[in-house]
Amino acid sequence: MFSKLRLDIKENKWLVFTGLLFCALSCYFIWNDSWYFSLLPIILIAIYGAIFHTEVTFLSLFFFAPISINIEEYTQSFGLFIPTEPMLFGLMVLLLIQQIKFPFFPKILFKSHLIWILLFYLSWLFITSITSSNPLASFKFLLAKLWFIIPVLFYGVSVFQKRKNILTFIYLFIAGMTIAMLYTLVIHASYQFGEKEGHWVMNPLFKDHTIYGALVAFVLPITFGLYFSKKHNPLVQAVLISVFTINILALYFSYTRAAWLSIIVALGVLALIKFKIKFTWIATTTFIIGIIIFFSWTSIQQSLAKNDAEHTTEDFGERLESVSNVTSDASNLERLNRWSCAIDMFLERPFFGFGPGTYAFEYARFQEPENLTIISTNFGDGGNAHSEYLGPMAETGFIGLLSVLALIASIFYTGIKLYIHFDPKDKEMRTLILAMILALTTYFFHGILNNYFDTDKAAMPIWAICAIFIALRGNDLMKKIS
């Protein structure tokens, strides 16, 4: 046995030498507080997986997305979500190289109006990056968009043509979110679920309770839909019920008002879809309500001025009521300050805007003294516009805003049309399509008050659902043709 071992070592001397060298270098780097160099084997494994097991690597990203960590909190230099964003960037480069040599993006990809609207949106981002007040920041923003869209949406359409991969995506994303929710609930429980502690106990997995609440609300309809999609065995049923219970508790203790409201809005959308309410009726009703609000605005303002409910309370009803408090609630007032800045920025540059990703660098000088709050910052380092709609309007002008609205409308049109025309005998997939539509509803309603579409946690599942809609639509068309 020993002679065989000596023979193996002799034959694989370069492998042994490399292993010993790596051990020595790792010890040296750890000793010098440069431990991150020891991550090299993990990086090499990730590269191997991306090249030889691309599909598995792609699907694993949805498990890592909810539990990824932004290294900005530790490096104090640049923001990067580990491990998802480096993996996404590597996948993007790999896929583009493969596409040039051996085109493999499915043909159905470019038969979807969603893709053409998306390409227009990306083209406008490129143009406004050139005219940007900070081109470097804008092109970095555009690059970050591409490393979400190319791997997750373009390649995802190919992956999700296999039914099992859709289910794998759902299970992996729910598993990752469940870990994040359990982690947060356990830490929060040690502080007796206090409201103030509820703002940061999700660190370092989530920056604050608002993005955490948005993703908790997002995953709730998917978990619900997965349970009712088909008859599961008792063990799977028990697991899904447990996950759903954790989801409800996480939503409540997120203390995120917009997340709570987004679930209510999703239930309203569910009713509209189930009862097949015509679009003309919805548009007419919305128009009438708008007219009533317009002519009653003075009395509405007087009622809002009397609202002194604070969002810092732990009472569910009072916290919801505080959404309309625009007199003393600092969170609401600061949001109005950011919106006011976004509108003023748009008025100064209505066509091209200030450039993608530049709001945080520009909004400070647009703050009016009467709009400042106790949480305002004169340096403009407080983040974004707190709106998925006003932010793009300030950064990319009215054409940019229209492209965003058209893209969102196209996503819902594609999903709802797919649900309506999907094979009614396929209850499992039809239920999951509806659940994904409701999940998107929670996010894009939440987007009125906050914006997180530039983070892996929000962008990845949303683009994945878009890819699923396109893939299922393509499969459905192929069945009808055959």
- The model's pLDDT over 380-437, given as tens digits with 9 standing for 90+, comes to 566 788 889 999 999 999 999 999 999 999 999 999 999 998 988 999 999 999 999 9
Do the domain assignments include residue 63?
A: yes
pLDDT digits (tens, 9 = 90+) for 192-234: 999 889 989 999 999 889 999 999 999 999 999 999 999 999 9
pLDDT of residue 482: 40
In terms of Cβ atoms closer than 10 Å to its own Cβ (0-12, 13-18, 19+), residue 358 is: buried
Average pLDDT, the chain: 83
Which is more confident, 317 or 371? 371
pLDDT of residue 6: 45
Which is more confident, 21 or 339? 339
pLDDT digits (tens, 9 = 90+) for 167-191: 999 999 999 999 999 999 999 999 9
Predicted confidence (pLDDT) at residue 126 exceeds the cutoff of 70: yes
Q: In whole angstroms, what is the distance from residue 293 CA to residue 424 CA?
A: 40
pLDDT of residue 285: 76
pLDDT of residue 98: 84
Do the domain assignments include residue 434?
A: yes
In the structure, what pLDDT confidence band is assigned to residue 3 with cuts at 50, 70 and 90? Answer: very low
pLDDT of residue 111: 87
Instruction: Calculate what percentage of the chain has a pLDDT beyond 90.
Output: 52
Which is more confident, 275 or 249? 249
pLDDT of residue 100: 82
Do the domain assignments include residue 395?
A: yes
pLDDT of residue 449: 87
Choose from 98-102, 277-281, 435-439 the range with maximum mean pLDDT: 435-439
Do the domain assignments include residue 148?
A: yes
Do the domain assignments include residue 351?
A: no
Do the domain assignments include residue 291?
A: no
Q: In whole angstroms, what is the distance from residue 361 CA to residue 382 CA?
A: 10
Residue 110 — φ and ψ, nearest 5°? -95, 10
Give the range of the structural domain holding residue 195, as residue numbers without chain letter: 44-275+384-481
Do the domain assignments include residue 431?
A: yes
Instruction: Print burial letters for 105-115: b (CB count within 10 Å at least 16), e (below 16).
Output: ebebbeebebb
C-beta separation of 36 from 149 below 8 A: no
* Count: domains in the chain: 1
pLDDT of residue 166: 96
pLDDT of residue 1: 43
pLDDT of residue 403: 96
Instruction: Calculate what percentage of the chain has a pLDDT beyond 70.
Output: 76
Predicted confidence (pLDDT) at residue 7 exceeds the cutoff of 50: no
Q: In whole angstroms, what is the distance from residue 354 CA to residue 137 CA?
A: 11
Do the domain assignments include residue 14?
A: no
Instruction: Print burial letters for 368-387: b (CB count within 10 Å at least 16), e (below 16).
Output: eeebeeeebeeebebebbbb
